[in-house]
Amino acid sequence: MRWEELDQQPCSLARTLSVVGDRWTLLVLRDCFLGVRRFDDFEARLGVTRHVLADRLKRLVEAGVLAKVPYQERPRREEYRFTEKGRDLYQAVMALVSWGDRYMAGAEGAPIRHRHKGCGQVMHGVLVCSECGEPLVPKEIELEEAPEWQGQLLPAHRHARSVEG
């Protein structure tokens, strides 16, 4: 599998990585969720070269994750705003943040706290079942190929299987 062909793979993770699978792209998304909108602010916060930053922002716009929105007419200046598609990445980013808070934080602990406005409590993201609300645990999840992909994606000896845990 070639990196340039990830978006053609019959795998949702591979297709997603074709859009967000770069460290600079993930850091741009992080900063967007922190409220950064303008090119110069991204550049100053990330310390990335202008060329790399411009490329990552362009790709996110082309993928429909961000939109360029004018904030000034003369001279015309634009900022980057999430589309619905981009906002829907929040859960994925929060899952990575939660993992990092648990396994990569130093002795000081997590560098940023997330407070849920609804209940006022400091929280961490938990992925739950869309149907029953139970937390998702790998050994409790069974994978099965969609009928149109039957026999093409999972190992040949198992067409339905539990996630390895």
The pLDDT tens digits for 36-87 are: 999 999 999 999 999 999 999 999 999 999 999 999 999 999 999 999 999 9
Residue 107 lies in a domain: no
> Cα(125)–Cα(137) distance, rounded to whole angstroms?
14
Based on its alpha-carbon atoms, the radius of gyration of the chain, rounded to whole angstroms, reads 19
Assigned domain for 131 exists: no
We report the CATH number of the domain holding residue 72 as 1.10.10.10
**How many domains are contained in the chain?**
1
More confident residue, 17 or 66: 66
User: Is residue 29 situated within a structural domain?
Assistant: yes
| Residue 12 placed within a domain | yes
In a domain, 68, yes or no: yes
Question: What pTM did the predictor assign?
Answer: 0.84
Q: What is the pLDDT of residue 3?
A: 59
Question: Is residue 124 domain-resident?
Answer: no
Q: Is residue 73 part of a domain?
A: yes
> Domain range for residue 18?
1-88
Over residues 111-146, the pLDDT tens digits come to: 999 999 999 999 988 889 999 999 988 888 888 877
What separation in angstroms does the CA of 119 have from each of 28, 115, 123, 128, 161? 29, 8, 10, 18, 37
Task: Rank 14-18, 92-96, 139-143, 155-159 by mean pLDDT and report only the highest.
Answer: 92-96
Indicate whether 103 belongs to any domain: no
Whether residue 162 has pLDDT greater than 70: no
